[in-house]
Amino acid sequence: MQQSYSTLHLTVTDGVAEIVLDNPPVNVISAMLMTDLGSALGDLREDHSTKVIVFSSANPDFFLAHVDMHILDDEDLLTEIADAAPEGVNVFQSVGELLRNQPQPVIVKLAGTARGGGAEFVAAADIVVAATETARLGQIESLMGIVPSGGGTQYLRERVGRNRAMEIVLTGDLYDASTAAAYGWVDRAVPAAELDEHVARVARNIADLTDGVALRTKEIFSPARPLDGYRREQAAWSRLVADPAALALMSRALESGAQTPEGESDLEHLMRSAAR
């Protein structure tokens, strides 16, 4: 089975679904990408022959960037996403909810950079394998004058604990794969040359389990929906994103090259420079 959407490609072979994120130039999380994710995962939800889902990127440098800084312009699509989101969950948090409540285990094969909403996406997955030399993670929202609003504060607290989660959010730094693995942000860091083979083996082993084992295991470990945390996140983000200072900061960042390959190569420096 092969199926293409506007921003991703889906292939299913012998129980393994591979979803390749493909939203040039840097894989920002646009309203269309969120819509495509909902459609693809919705199709797989009803496919009981699919045992495991593997996410990767068509761009070796960028797995998934932050939320598109122009996303509020896509009012119609955002309204559709909001209408489909569970009660008490905003449009950005609904992406993580898709992964966390998908029946099949979700693996992220992280070869490049994931920032902001992209890092939240990674943290929401069930198993994350990162390339030691090339994978990077960062919750950059503080440098944009806002806070994470896609569940990242809740996922980080689960994965790395409160203190390290605060460090990650407040510094806005970009973390290498080895540090992320030591913190528990990713589950394993492997040499880049071994990444494809390692993830393929893990996915194949899961798909080869007796029918029902993978789905029942995901069911056992699926976390409760952290609605109180989601509400705090949404309230803090709403206050900050409406601040003229945050809007001006993002505008200067876009003018300086944010959401281009060049600007995103060192977005932390770009954002700090835009804040001066």
Q: Is residue 196 part of a domain?
A: yes
Provide the residue range defining the domain that includes 267. 2-210+222-274
Q: Is residue 120 part of a domain?
A: yes
Residue-wise pLDDT tens digits, 161-181: 999 999 999 999 999 999 999
pLDDT at 218 over 90: yes
What does the pLDDT read at residue 276? 85
Average pLDDT, the chain: 96
Report the distance separating Cα 206 and Cα 196, nearest Å.
16
Q: Is residue 37 part of a domain?
A: yes
What does the pLDDT read at residue 142? 97
Report the distance separating Cα 127 and Cα 107, nearest Å.
5
- At 30, list the tokens: 């646009």
Confidence tier at 4 by pLDDT (50, 70, 90) = confident
Q: Is residue 181 part of a domain?
A: yes
What does the pLDDT read at residue 233? 97
- As a dihedral over the C-alpha atoms of residue 64, residue 74, residue 236, residue 173, rounded to 10 degrees, the angle is 20
pLDDT at 112 over 80: yes
Model pTM score:
0.96
> How large is the average pLDDT for residues 96-114?
97
Q: Is residue 135 part of a domain?
A: yes
pLDDT at 1 over 80: no
Residue-wise pLDDT tens digits, 14-58: 999 999 999 999 999 999 999 999 999 999 998 989 999 999 999
Confidence tier at 198 by pLDDT (50, 70, 90) = very high
Report the distance separating Cα 214 and Cα 104, nearest Å.
7
Q: Is residue 215 part of a domain?
A: no
Q: Is residue 165 part of a domain?
A: yes
Confidence tier at 144 by pLDDT (50, 70, 90) = very high
Q: What is the CATH number of the domain that holds 10?
A: 3.90.226.10
Q: Is residue 216 part of a domain?
A: no
Among candidate residues 203, 56, 45, 27, the one with its CA nearest the CA of residue 116:
27
Could you give the number of structural domains in the chain?
1
DSSP 52-116: EEEEEESSSSEEE-SB-TTGGG-HHHHHHHHHHSPTT--TTHHHHHHHHH-SS-EEEEE-SEEET
